[in-house]
Amino acid sequence: MKLVHPSPRQTATIVQAMYAVVSAAGRMSPQPLEADCIAAIQRHLLRIEHPLAGAPGPLPGDLADILNTPELRLMTVRILAMLPVIDRRVLPEKVRVVDEAAARLGVEEVGLRILRYASRGRYRRVSLLMAKRFIAWWSPVGKARLRDWVRFMWWMVPRLHGPRMARMNREMRSRFQGLAMLPQGSFGRTLYDFFGEHEIPLPGEPRGVPWVMHEVYHVICEYGVSLEGKLLLTAFSGSSLEDTCLDQLLFGLLSYHAGKQLVGGVVSERILQPDDYFRAMARGAGVNVNLAKGWDFWDYVEIPACELRSRYNLPPISQEERDSVSVFNALLTGPGYSTSIAA
């Protein structure tokens, strides 16, 4: 998600648009958490030192005139799309304001379909749509055909594999086990240790999946596996991507903040801390590489993890963030991370 630094007038327009969403065009009062989120968005995503106040009301009449570039429009719509989830109800009245803004700005974002399904309580459709988009991304032809669904499911379940694939799995497991020989602090060793410390089966192991991208993101962004860490991970990964930006952001907010069950795993409610969340988004948006496309982590396993983050325009965790996030055990610590274990 490309962040655009808006002019003061554009900022005021975006702020008013955000208040239009959380107030359902002036029909309800914004909740304190929503106001806090709007302020945090201004601080971290719009880079405004002193956030502007706003008031309940409709979308600005000159929205499309003031927000006059495609990048600014897309960023604005994505920001607006997160807001109906903040009160955990995903009210259709609020989603309609997002849809209206997107229409006026001429922005077509597939992620808005996720939001619409959620506003109707159709969470199975949300899950299906997210899975379909993921498999389309994974498919060699960029579409989720029936054969791609079947192939993906088969690929992800090693127990279904035959002798030839079992041999390849053994080779893959062996290759991953070799990461243990790398120096402490190297990216590969840090990733290997992450698997071990959290008892995640390595790719190629019987219960493992041949897939490390999720774990790579944990190691790169330094957010851990507590629920608060998982939410920050989705903020980071969503904002670091373009194609599936809202998929990631909405998955995290719906699952970990709104308590909506999407994939049968863990959910929670009301764990969103606005400054932590939008700071994580800003970190992700700053990343200068697409880890999910054409990036092979084997090319980087010997590089120190901290150096790799630096190459990707990802500075060490700031003391401000460390102080705030550490209370939730949401940071990974130790060799390969910018936070020592003692902290």
- Positions touching other proteins (CB under 8 A) are 32, 197-199, 224-227, 229-230, 259, 261, 263-271, 327-330
When the beta carbons of 82 and 232 are compared against other proteins, the nearer one is: 232
When the beta carbons of 156 and 181 are compared against other proteins, the nearer one is: 156
Q: Minimum Å distance from CB 294 to other proteins?
A: 30
Give residue 277's region: left, alpha or beta (phi > 0; psi -120 to 50): alpha
Q: Minimum Å distance from CB 329 to other proteins?
A: 3
Is 187:300 a contact under the CB 8 Å cutoff?
yes
Is 343:333 a contact under the CB 8 Å cutoff?
yes
When the beta carbons of 227 and 301 are compared against other proteins, the nearer one is: 227
What's the distance, Cα to Cα, between the start and end of the chain in Å? 31
Spatial CA neighbour of 103 closest among 58, 61, 57, 64: 64
When the beta carbons of 61 and 265 are compared against other proteins, the nearer one is: 265
When the beta carbons of 103 and 156 are compared against other proteins, the nearer one is: 156
Is 59:104 a contact under the CB 8 Å cutoff?
yes
Listing DSSP states for 288-303 in one string gives -S-TTSS--GGGGTTS
Question: H-type helices in the chain, by residue range?
Answer: 8-22, 32-44, 63-66, 70-86, 92-105, 111-119, 123-138, 146-156, 163-177, 187-197, 213-221, 227-240, 245-252, 274-286, 305-311, 319-325
Q: Minimum Å distance from CB 214 to other proteins?
A: 13
CA distance 52 to 30: 15
CA distance 278 to 45: 7
When the beta carbons of 189 and 230 are compared against other proteins, the nearer one is: 230
Q: Minimum Å distance from CB 324 to other proteins?
A: 12
CA distance 128 to 122: 10
CA distance 143 to 20: 36
Residues 6+ apart with CB under 8 A from 108: 102
**Residue 261, both tokens:** 């069950």
Q: Minimum Å distance from CB 177 to other proteins?
A: 21
**Residue 329, both tokens:** 């055990």
When the beta carbons of 312 and 328 are compared against other proteins, the nearer one is: 328
Q: Minimum Å distance from CB 226 to other proteins?
A: 4
Residue 144: how many other CB atoms lie within 10 Å: 18
When the beta carbons of 91 and 271 are compared against other proteins, the nearer one is: 271
Q: Minimum Å distance from CB 112 to other proteins?
A: 27
Q: Minimum Å distance from CB 265 to other proteins?
A: 5
CA distance 333 to 328: 13
Q: Minimum Å distance from CB 331 to other proteins?
A: 8
When the beta carbons of 139 and 329 are compared against other proteins, the nearer one is: 329
